[in-house]
Amino acid sequence: MSRTTGYQAKIGTQRNVMVIPQDGSIVAWSIGLGKPGKKQTAFFNDKLGGEAQAQLTILNPRSKLRSRAVGQGDPQKLAPYFGTTVQFPLAKSIPVKKGWVIALTVPTWAPALAVGLGADTSWRASRGKGTCEDTSTNTVQTQPNQLAQYYCLYKTARLAYSATLVTKPAPAVAPKT
């Protein structure tokens, strides 16, 4: 994955897998990383803007595949963790609302894409119509309230990330007697 913000749209029959199910706070995020060799790492570092890094972004979806960035974690350098799944606690939790989307922002590159999966698995990237093949132009959402279009749908691939949501507890309703 390179120079974009993206989110998992579908895995098998499950749609909207990264949509927040209820209000709460995101307190940490995880990313599963491949293990590129030294030559591959040097190539990507040279061609895609530097060391591998990623951060969590929270999106408020709008109409016509547009989403506004409403929260973000700090960027994390990934090279020390290649070949593992690593969890990053957030310095400050991000308050979230039901229906918002958890996305992954990669300002440079990250070996966090599982490929060769079924056509029923797909993810979306913050790229506009007609720019889906251009993976070298930087389209990341890194500014507060930044609006971007998520037109590009990439099938047969999965972004290997997740987030830890702590929900707000609902008061118990006393049974009627």
What are residue 149's DSSP bridge partners?
66
3-class DSSP assignment, residue 81 = helix
In a domain, 176, yes or no: no
Percent of the chain beyond pLDDT 70?
Answer: 99
In a domain, 172, yes or no: no
CA atoms of 106 and 81, how far apart (whole Å): 15
Does the model's pTM come out above 0.95?
no
The confidence band for 10, taking pLDDT boundaries of 50, 70 and 90, is very high
In a domain, 173, yes or no: no
In a domain, 74, yes or no: yes
In the predicted structure, residue 9 carries a pLDDT above the cut 90: yes
CA atoms of 139 and 150, how far apart (whole Å): 10
In a domain, 21, yes or no: yes
pLDDT digits (tens, 9 = 90+) for 122-155: 999 999 999 999 888 899 998 889 999 999 999 9
pLDDT digits (tens, 9 = 90+) for 64-77: 999 999 999 999 99
In a domain, 177, yes or no: no
Structural contact between residues 1 and 32, judged by C-beta atoms closer than 8 angstroms: no
Nearest to 27 by CA among 61, 69, 73: 73
Query: What is the domain range of residue 26?
Result: 2-167
User: β-strands 85-96, 24-32: how paired?
Assistant: antiparallel
Number of domains in the chain: 1
pLDDT at 169: 78
Residue 62: give its domain's CATH number: 2.60.120
In a domain, 159, yes or no: yes
Nearest to 26 by CA among 148, 169, 168, 145: 168
pLDDT: is 71 or 171 the higher one?
A: 71
In a domain, 81, yes or no: yes
